[in-house]
Amino acid sequence: MAQIVIIMGSATDRPTAKKAEKILEKFDIKYETYVASAHRTPDRVVNIVKEAKADVFIALAGLSAALPGVVAAHTLKPVIGVPCASSSSPANLDSLLSVVQMPPGVPVAGVGIGRGENAALLALRMISISDDNTAKKLEEYRKELEQKTIDSN
């Protein structure tokens, strides 16, 4: 059983997904990653969401970035949207707005463009509410980041 399910809209989102996976592996969190498009494979998206036993979903998408909203429409679990840069829109502010401008009643938490690692860390914070082990690991991670910043002087 995966605690976190990562769904990316296309294989081009894989570098951003890898950032999330790296964090989840560091924290020994079970996850599953899928490629499923809100537009090209909508039934697959719904099946993944409905069948998953995840605590949190991370949905990555570029261009119209509809995937996080579609995932949120089919679950009551937290959904974190990650807008991804694309070759046609490197800054991809349209994707960022698509993630954060959800209608009332269908919330999606959003992180910065390409910030898969922040999506994973936010998911871990959600899990840590009821998991003391994850909370402890997050505290240790925060101390590592602090020391790394100090050491960079």
Give the tens place of pLDDT for each residue, 18-55.
Answer: 999 999 999 999 999 999 999 999 999 999 999 999 99
Q: Residue 31: what pLDDT?
A: 97
**Full-model pTM:** 0.94
Q: How far apart are CA 16 and CA 20, in angstroms?
A: 7
For the segment 76-93, the average pLDDT, to the nearest whole number, is 83
| Each residue's pLDDT tens digit, 102-113 | 999 999 999 999
Which CATH code, of 3.60.70.12, 3.40.50.1970, 3.40.50.720, 1.10.10.10, is assigned to 4-151? 3.40.50.1970
Domain limits, the chain = 4-151
User: At 34, phi and psi to the nearest 5?
Assistant: -130, 155
In this prediction, residue 25 carries a pLDDT of 98
> How high is the pLDDT of residue 6?
98
Q: Taking phi first (over 0 means left), then psi (-120 to 50 degrees means alpha), and beta for anything else, what does residue 75 get? A: beta
